[in-house]
Amino acid sequence: MTARKSADLRRADIVEAVLDLLASVSPERLSTSRIAAKVGVSHGALFRHFPTKDDIWRSVMEEVEHRAQRAWAKASEIGGGPRDRLRMLCLAQLGLIEQTPAIPALVMAPGRHVAEDSVRPIVLRLMAGLMDRMVALARQAKAAGNLRGDLQPDDIAALLLGILQGLVLRWSLSGRGFDLVTEGDRLVCLQLRLMAPSQPQEVSCD
């Protein structure tokens, strides 16, 4: 049992090391030797825990997915109406990325990733999961009269997701030169006010 636990902990250490390194190194340039050095194990020991490099990338993306699901679930527990929960879901996603800056490197590198076939299905599943939650909350907010009746829930979610993706790209290109959650809150609130049924100034994002 102890050996099994130690192996699990070591795999978790390797995944965490990859996430740390990806904050400053692109996926295609991250070598297994560098990962092993970061963890403090031999190159051979690294491959005893993960037989192939694809296995490493798959485990890293699965960890990102788990973190995202936890962040989304926590956001859904916050009180208030569906429009408030939609806003908090957006901020939870930005908060996750700010805490784990490797995520943009993993998600926004189509065609350049060393384990594209392993990573892409998880990325697509992750994006679909976020979109589904946003659509569900947009539908609830529309039914509650918080958002304009002529807007489709899918379009509401797509507009908000576009804000998040564009903001993350700008944040990454700027060298993380601004507070991602603060700027995201400002833009998401602005978009929600613009989608309010009437008198958007009455929509509070405090």
List the pLDDT tens digit at each of the 206 positions of the chain. 455 558 889 999 999 999 999 988 888 888 999 999 999 999 999 999 999 988 999 999 999 999 999 999 999 888 789 999 999 999 999 999 999 999 998 887 654 555 667 788 898 999 999 999 999 999 999 999 999 999 999 999 999 999 999 999 999 999 999 999 999 999 999 999 999 997 544 455 65
Q: Superfamily for 57-202?
A: Tetracycline Repressor, domain 2 (1.10.357.10)
- In this structure, the number of other CB atoms found within 10 A of the CB of residue 37 comes to 15
Q: What pLDDT, in 10s, does the model give residues 85-109?
A: 999 999 999 999 999 999 998 887 6
Q: What is the pLDDT of residue 5?
A: 53
Q: What is the pLDDT of residue 1?
A: 44
How far is residue 109's CA from residue 75's CA, in Å, rounded to a whole number? 27
Q: What is the pLDDT of residue 29?
A: 86
113 phi/psi in degrees, rounded to 5 = -75, 140
